């Protein structure tokens, strides 16, 4: 069977962006340093990195708000680095933008904010009416059409921001820290809405974030950025299961409890005698009951001293630290068997 042809909606090849140094004679600053990236049509792709990693700059290169220093940026089959101002305006009509600070006209009504991009796109009155009412229903704000934006909560504002981004029926949505100004509950609602935009409307989403929880909740694939470079990329589940780069490990550690901190570990050792091992529960390999049955069969005592289970895109992840007690030989034999069920490591003293 041949692989289905998946066409990238966004493709970056060897992209470099330099900004001039602050003073004359200062060296140029490389905000983006040779990035290769493919965002497939229909997916939610996340770029994660700490502040200053170059994420926002990268997004500004995709919608050509900034010119690249070198490399190519292809959106929907068109190299945006070679477009005229006029063609750029057309390109941007096909890309919706969602911002951290919403960027709405606060003193205008929700309706007025949604009408704006439609007027710019030259839609008739009747079309504006139809589209705005459709959008308001989709984002669950049909009763707020005539409210001023300044009267809305942060979560409602971001719903308006998303509706506005969708107004001209873009194929691609760029979301720049769309939930970073929101509390955890509202963040969840807005992420659910973005997932619906992707699932029900088939819109590709490229989002940037510094929160691994955002990636865990909605991203299909993810690229990790540090100092202008992509240090690791792949399916979100694979990065959670087996992060390679230290930056990725740090991000994954914010969501999946890895190991207790040294002081916690010391306190745990005071309270629990025995040999500490850590089980890494991953994807389909989660067979906890078999692990515990094996320990019991070898008459090894066990206590769960640290850890937790999380879900990433319907897949279970977790790290459990156990304190094992009993005959040393029996523990060795039990661990040898357990090695075929799950990955385990000794927790160093
Ligand atoms: N217009 C500019 N002129 C000069 N330097 C810039 C400009 N825009 C960004 N930079 C620099 O490029 C680097 C990357 O910035 P960028 O905003 O892309 O990072 P980021 O990962 O999005 O971080 P944050 O989340 O803090 O915005 C930073 O060192 C920043 O100071």
The pLDDT tens digits for 268-306 are: 999 999 999 988 887 655 577 888 999 999 999 999 898
Task: Tell me how far apart the alpha carbons of residues 322 and 277 are, in angstroms, rounded to a whole number.
Answer: 5
Helices 110-120 and 125-138, interaxial angle, to 10°? Answer: 130
Is 126 domain-assigned? Answer: no
**Residue nearest atom 7 of ligand 1, based on CA coordinates:** 19
Whether the pLDDT of residue 343 is over 90: the answer is no
pLDDT computed for residue 308 by the predictor: 78
pLDDT computed for residue 264 by the predictor: 86
Note whether 199 and 336 are same-domain residues: no
Task: Tell me how far apart the alpha carbons of residues 182 and 10 are, in angstroms, rounded to a whole number.
Answer: 28
Residues of the chain with pLDDT > 70, as a percent, come to 97
Is 35 domain-assigned? Answer: yes
Whether the pLDDT of residue 5 is over 60: the answer is no
Note whether 198 and 270 are same-domain residues: no
Is 127 domain-assigned? Answer: no
Using the atom order of ligand 1, give the atom closest to the CA of residue 59: 18
Task: Specify the number of domains making up the chain.
Answer: 2
**Between these two residues, 223 and 312, which has the higher pLDDT value?**
223
Note whether 243 and 289 are same-domain residues: no
100 lines ligand 1 (CB under 6 A): no
Note whether 283 and 341 are same-domain residues: yes
Structure token digits, residue 332: 């060795």
Is 139 domain-assigned? Answer: no
Structure token digits, residue 234: 């792949």
Note whether 88 and 187 are same-domain residues: yes
pLDDT computed for residue 3 by the predictor: 47
Structure token digits, residue 67: 């010119």
Backbone angles phi, psi at 347, to 5 degrees: -90, 115
pLDDT computed for residue 314 by the predictor: 73
Whether the pLDDT of residue 1 is over 80: the answer is no
Of 253, 270, 302, the residue at which a domain comes to its end is 253
**Residue nearest atom 12 of ligand 1, based on CA coordinates:** 31
Structure token digits, residue 86: 């006029």
55 lines ligand 1 (CB under 6 A): yes
Is 214 domain-assigned? Answer: yes
**Residue 17 C-alpha to ligand 1 middle, in angstroms?**
10
Are 12 and 206 in contact by the 8 Å Cβ rule? The answer is no
**Residue nearest atom 30 of ligand 1, based on CA coordinates:** 52
Is 134 domain-assigned? Answer: no
63-92 pLDDT, tens digit per residue, is 999 999 999 999 999 999 988 888 888 888
**DSSP string covering 209-263:** ES-HHHHHHH-SEEEEEETTEEEEEEEHHHHHHS--SHHHHHHHHTTS--S--HH
Are 216 and 258 in contact by the 8 Å Cβ rule? The answer is no
Of 233, 253, 273, the residue at which a domain comes to its end is 253
Note whether 14 and 69 are same-domain residues: yes
Note whether 175 and 322 are same-domain residues: no
Is 338 domain-assigned? Answer: yes
Confidence of residue 309 (pLDDT cuts 50, 70, 90): confident
Note whether 77 and 183 are same-domain residues: yes
Using the atom order of ligand 1, give the atom closest to the CA of residue 66: 1
> CATH number, domain at 188?
3.40.50.300
Using the atom order of ligand 1, give the atom closest to the CA of residue 54: 18
Task: Tell me how far apart the alpha carbons of residues 174 and 165 are, in angstroms, rounded to a whole number.
Answer: 9
Q: Give, as one character, the DSSP assignment of residue 176.
A: E
Is 309 domain-assigned? Answer: yes
Partners of 98 in the beta sheet?
175
pLDDT computed for residue 325 by the predictor: 94
Are 246 and 281 in contact by the 8 Å Cβ rule? The answer is no
Of 190, 220, 253, the residue at which a domain comes to its end is 253
Note whether 174 and 245 are same-domain residues: yes
Q: Give the mean pLDDT of 222-229.
A: 97
Confidence of residue 4 (pLDDT cuts 50, 70, 90): very low
**Residue nearest atom 14 of ligand 1, based on CA coordinates:** 54
**Residue 156 C-alpha to ligand 1 middle, in angstroms?**
28
246-264 pLDDT, tens digit per residue, is 999 889 888 877 677 888 8
Note whether 189 and 308 are same-domain residues: no
ipTM over 0.90: yes
Burial of residue 174 (CB within 10 Å: 0-12, 13-18, 19+) is buried
Task: Tell me how far apart the alpha carbons of residues 89 and 112 are, in angstroms, rounded to a whole number.
Answer: 21
Note whether 180 and 81 are same-domain residues: yes
Whether the pLDDT of residue 334 is over 50: the answer is yes
Domain with 229 in it: 8-94+170-253
94-118 pLDDT, tens digit per residue, is 899 999 999 999 999 999 999 999 9
The pLDDT mean for the chain works out to 91
51 lines ligand 1 (CB under 6 A): yes
Note whether 33 and 179 are same-domain residues: yes
pLDDT computed for residue 71 by the predictor: 97
**Residue 185 C-alpha to ligand 1 middle, in angstroms?**
29
> CATH number, domain at 295?
3.30.70.260
135-187 pLDDT, tens digit per residue, is 999 999 999 999 999 999 999 999 999 999 999 999 999 999 999 999 999 99
């Amino acid at each position: 069977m041949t692989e289905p042809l998946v066409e990238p909606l966004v493709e970056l090849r060897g992209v470099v962006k330099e900004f001039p140094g602050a003073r004359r004679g200062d060296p140029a600053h490389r905000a983006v340093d040779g990035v290769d990236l493919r965002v497939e049509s229909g997916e939610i792709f996340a770029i994660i990195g700490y502040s200053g990693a170059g994420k926002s700059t990268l997004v500004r290169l995709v919608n050509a708000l900034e010119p690249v220093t070198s490399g190519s940026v292809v959106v929907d089959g068109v190299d945006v680095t070679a477009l005229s101002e006029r063609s750029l305006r057309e390109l941007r009509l096909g890309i919706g933008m969602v911002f951290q600070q919403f960027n709405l006209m606060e003193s205008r009504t929700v309706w007025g904010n949604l009408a704006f991009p439609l007027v710019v796109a030259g839609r008739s009155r009747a079309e504006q009416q139809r589209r705005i009412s459709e959008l308001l229903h989709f984002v669950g704000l049909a009763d707020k059409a005539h409210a001023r934006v300044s009267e809305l909560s942060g979560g409602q504002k971001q719903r308006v921001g998303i509706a506005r981004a969708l107004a001209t029926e873009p194929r691609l949505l760029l979301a720049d820290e769309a939930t970073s100004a929101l509390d955890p509950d509202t963040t969840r609602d807005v992420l659910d809405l973005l997932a619906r935009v992707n699932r029900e409307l088939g819109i590709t989403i490229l989002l940037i974030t510094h929160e691994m929880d955002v990636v865990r909740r909605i991203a299909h694939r993810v690229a990790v950025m540090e100092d202008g470079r992509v240090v690791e990329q792949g399916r979100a589940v694979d990065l959670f299961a087996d992060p390679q780069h230290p930056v990725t490990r740090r991000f994954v550690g914010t969501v999946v409890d890895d190991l207790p901190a040294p002081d916690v570990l010391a306190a745990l050792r005071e309270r629990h005698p025995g040999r500490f091992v850590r089980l890494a529960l991953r994807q389909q390999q989660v067979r906890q009951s078999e692990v515990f049955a094996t320990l019991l069969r070898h008459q090894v005592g066990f206590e769960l001293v640290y850890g937790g289970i999380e879900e990433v895109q319907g897949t279970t992840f977790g790290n459990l630290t156990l304190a094992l007690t009993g005959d040393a030989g029996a523990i060795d034999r039990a661990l040898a068997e357990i090695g075929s069920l799950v990955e385990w490591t000794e927790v160093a003293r």
